[in-house]
A and B are shown apart, each in its own frame.
Chain A
Amino acid sequence: MSELNNSEPHDASLASESQSHEHPVDFQNYLRRCIYIFISILCAVSLMIWASYLPHEHFSWAVKVTIILAVACCNAFVVAGFLMHLISEKKMIYTVLSFTVFFFAGLLGLTVWAMQDFPAGTTH
């Protein structure tokens, strides 16, 4: 949420309804952009639901889960990229997030790895 810069220093006394015409273009642009984002989220949700009802004679649950999670990732990109403005953030935030991605991938990766690594004689 950083690229919308209000260059003029804000005077608290001006913060009233009567000043609403100061930056009408910015707000309208944002509103239009939000409508597009909302529609894209609705499309992604519809796609996920459609995929979950694909006939299981032709699509196994593994295939359906893959399709649904792929759509969910695209949906998450829209939310994180445009609503959280991650596509135009400062380097500091990317650094923090790259560490998070590394540890998150490690967390999931180690879990999956551990599933194939049962010590002998411990299952029954």
Chain B
Amino acid sequence: MDIPYTVQPRPETGLYNAKVGIWLFLASEVMLFGGLFSGYVLLRVGADRWPHGWLNVTLGTANTIILALSAITTLLAWVACKVGHFGKFRFFHACTLLLALSFLGIKSYEYHDKWIHYEIKLNDGTFADGHLVEKSDDFDLANKTGTFTIHGRIVTDENDLYDLRSQKNIQLKEIIVAAADIKSIENYGPWHNTYLALYFTLTGLHALHILGGSIVIGYLWGPGRRMWKTDHQRFTNRIEVSGLFWHFVDLVWIFLFPVLYLT
């Protein structure tokens, strides 16, 4: 059975069906991310204090450039399809795939960095904040045994941990904290505060989109490329549709980067 309008435009819309479908899907995606962004606005405006400088701007910028470059290579892969140049198509699509994996690699590193970052409230009212270096084998907070070593600093006011942008020359050193001195300890996971909850939710959902897009691009680059010979125009349309999704993912990051890393 032939599926209608996979190649020829449908008279009512002037578009082939997959293109109408992807735009309707993207419209629903706008509302999905829109809901999360409006949640961000609501929570940020209502917050008493908001962290600044908690994320690595260099890594965020690198990821922005990587995604922008991948959007370009996706477009060039589609143009290569249009002009019938299989070698160029394979090259540019492979570039897109590698760039997508690079993005996910950097994002994983950033997540790990937050995972091993701890804020420790001490019994004397001060705060030790930094990255985990070593946890002694006998470390047990309940029984107050062992030590917890971090590379960071000690502050007297928790507010000093919030605006890192305004502080110059923050000195970090290795600090060994005895379990007996710890009142509470928590890493910078999504449970730490509202900002990190939003950060992990928004970037996590975005990373899932990157992963999904990578799987589709990988399929079209690999086993799906057989359609190049059997139905070239339809294959080109598939590349276009996957490219539109990829550009949307780039579009979301264009707003996520400033909202989370720069402001």
- Which A residues are closer than 8 A to B by beta carbons? 1, 4, 6, 10, 12-17, 19-20, 22-23, 26-27, 30-31, 34, 37-38, 41-42, 45, 48-49, 51-53, 56, 61, 64-65, 68-69, 71-72, 75-76, 79-80, 83-84, 90-93, 96-97, 99-100, 103-104, 107-108, 111-112, 114-115
State which size class the interface on B falls in: 35 or more
Q: Please report whether the interface of chain A is mostly helix, strand, loop or mixed according to DSSP.
A: helix
Contact of A37 (CB < 8 Å), options: B61, B72, B78, B84: B72
Between A and B, 23 residue pairs with Cβ closer than 8 Å are A1-B240, A6-B82, A13-B229, A15-B84, A17-B87, A19-B84, A20-B84, A27-B80, A38-B72, A42-B68, A56-B166, A75-B254, A76-B255, A79-B247, A79-B251, A90-B13, A93-B15, A97-B23, A97-B27, A99-B27, A107-B31, A108-B37, A115-B46
Closest to B27 in A: A100
- B152 at interface, CB cutoff 8 A: no
Closest to A99 in B: B27
**Shortest Cβ gap from B8 to chain A (Å):** 12
Across the A-B interface, the 4 shortest Cβ-Cβ residue pairs: A52-B262, A23-B83, A111-B38, A100-B27
- Which B residues are closer than 8 A to A by beta carbons? 13-15, 19-20, 23-24, 27, 30-31, 34-35, 37-39, 41-42, 45-46, 50, 52, 57, 61, 64-65, 68-69, 71-72, 75-76, 78-80, 82-88, 165-166, 228-233, 236, 240, 243-244, 247-248, 250-251, 254-255, 257-259, 262-263
